[in-house]
Structure 1
Amino acid sequence: MGDGRVRVTFAGSGDAFGSGGRLQACLHIARRQGTPVLLDCGATSLVALKRLALEPNELAAVFVSHLHGDHFGGLPFLVLDGQFRRRTAPLMVAGPPGLRQRLTEMMEVLYPGSSRARRKFEVEVVELNPGEPRRIAGIDVTAWEVDHASGAPPLALRLDVDGVVIAYTGDTAWTGAIPAAAAGADLLVAEAYYVDKDIPYHLNHNTLLAHRDELTCGRIVLTHMSDDMLAHTDEAAFEPAHDGFTVELG
């Protein structure tokens, strides 16, 4: 930890397709008053964490924005890594309604029998209903439903971590949920898939810029960028993340 109360490390800052050679969505949040948590856990997350010497067995919880592989596909590997490396502390996994069933199905597809294996730690799944604040692993979390087709309600998330507020768009087209989640936040982590191309269910840089006055937050960091956006990060109005990028807050 540096001087701040909270450190956010972009262990993975990429899109689903490895644009720019980046790893998939995985934000590691370290805090002075508790054990770390993850915000999203894409399929490459275990590699990302170990590359940065961030111990997976220390994680208290994983918060999931939506049920696409580049945002929650790393969970089976995280659970099995804990099983084979003798984790004992419980792991909480919080995300959209439908998470419990989808996680079980994914574990069974990848490693048959793994969802029923006996482990020395509990995996507790909490399904977040939009608009209903919850307290998970000592963190206050609120969810808003956004606009992204993923077979379950996709969420923008707002985490209050020891008085430091982190908002996260997940993947979504522009919606009024984004300024609601970002209101007064210390940090907004926002998708910027393209520079100005409008495609369904995704944000682009110029749309964020057009709505900047509605975003009453402090720092804005861009993530989940395609090759198109990565080629123009020098011109971006907001800070672009990269794998290993860190933000100290509080």
Structure 2
Amino acid sequence: MRLLILGCGDAFGSGGRFHTCFHVSWAGPGFLIDCGASSLIAMRRFGVDPNGIDTVFLTHLHGDHFGGLPWLILDAQFVSRRTKPLVIAGPAGTGERLKAAMEALFPGSSTAQRAFAVDVVEIEAGRQDVLGGIAVTPFAVCHPSGAPSHGLRIEAGGKVLSYTGDTEWVEDLIPLGHEADLLIAEGYTVERPVRFHLSWAALAARMPEIRPKRLVLTHMSPEMIANDPAGRYVAAEDGMVLEI
């Protein structure tokens, strides 16, 4: 499994980073985890073919995590000339929010005829779904977004990739990331509490229970970007490639 970090920024682009988007390639069809507003630009910059993506897994419905979908769909229609279905797996309400976003940005685009289907699959905490050979188990987290917000534990090709999404500390982060081959965790601040977001201090205190094989921190504020990790974690960067 190969992970390409297309974007690891917070909502405000701290450090000049793109919005959250992770591209995963493996023996099966490629997929994305989140698709923030700048994701299509990042795909162009880092050489990812949008037609090579079969599924997009969404943690929650904030624009810096799902707002790139209208551009991805329109690119598929007018530029990349997609013909195979695109599956979008997200929390309850994903279909309606996607339609609303497309209509706000490009009126009429949500009902336009296309040469491919956009299949929305709504996933829920505590239930595992298998899509295109990829098993995804959502965990409930604490990050209000007008719909359920999830951390995702994804299993494919014998590997486990876990991602906290945006959240303050919740106990479900332990089974979410437990002994994962790679845990991608929000690390918004060093110690300073910010409601609905995760600090490095809060995460580090529970790492002996989570025990991931590797840890990458993402969605960092300016203070966190300036922090020296001193070997305790890998700090995500746009364009970073990790073999899992």
TM-score, normalized by length of structure 2? 0.98
Paired residue for 2:183, among 164, 188, 201?
188
Name the structure 2 match of 1:19: 14
Judge conservation of contact 1:205–1:236 (CA < 8 Å) in 2. no
Secondary structure in 2 matching 1:60: strand
Q: Which runs of 5+ in 1 are unaligned?
A: 1-5
Paired residue for 1:78, among 69, 72, 76?
72
Q: Residue 234 of structure 1: CA displacement?
A: 4.0
Divergent runs of 4+, >6 A: none
Secondary structure in 1 matching 2:107: coil
Q: Residue 150 of structure 1: CA displacement?
A: 0.5
Name the structure 1 match of 2:48: 54
Q: Residue 183 of structure 1: CA displacement?
A: 1.5
Question: 67-76 or 230-239, which moves further after superposition?
Answer: 230-239
Residue by residue over 1:24-71, the C-alpha shift from the partner in whole angstroms, topping out at 9 and shown as x without a partner, is 00000011x212100000000000111000111110000000000000
Q: Within 1, Cα distance between the matches of 2:108 and 2:7?
A: 28
Judge conservation of contact 1:64–1:96 (CA < 8 Å) in 2. yes
Size of the aligned set, in residue pairs, is 243
Paired residue for 1:159, among 136, 148, 154?
154
Mark the CA change 1:117 to 1:21 in structure 2 (over 3 Å): closer, same or farther: same
Q: Within 2, Cα distance between the matches of 1:236 and 1:151?
A: 37
TM-score, normalized by length of structure 1? 0.95
Q: Residue 216 of structure 1: CA displacement?
A: 2.4
Secondary structure in 1 matching 2:29: strand
Name the structure 2 match of 1:130: 125
Q: Residue 233 of structure 1: CA displacement?
A: 3.6
Q: Within 2, Cα distance between the matches of 1:205 and 1:237?
A: 10
Q: Residue 235 of structure 1: CA displacement?
A: 3.7
Secondary structure in 1 matching 2:151: strand
Judge conservation of contact 1:92–1:137 (CA < 8 Å) in 2. no
Q: Residue 236 of structure 1: CA displacement?
A: 6.1
Mark the CA change 1:140 to 1:194 in structure 2 (over 3 Å): closer, same or farther: same
Name the structure 1 match of 2:32: 38
Percent identity between matched residues is 47
Q: Residue 214 of structure 1: CA displacement?
A: 1.4
Q: Residue 217 of structure 1: CA displacement?
A: 1.6
1:61 aligned partner, one-letter code: T
Q: Within 2, Cα distance between the matches of 1:28 and 1:113?
A: 29
Secondary structure in 2 matching 1:141: strand
Q: Which runs of 5+ in 2 are unaligned?
A: none
2:183 corresponds to 1:205: no
2:154 aligned partner, one-letter code: L
Name the structure 1 match of 2:84: 89
Q: Within 1, Cα distance between the matches of 2:225 and 2:231?
A: 10
Q: Within 1, Cα distance between the matches of 2:161 and 2:2?
A: 11
Name the structure 2 match of 1:215: 210
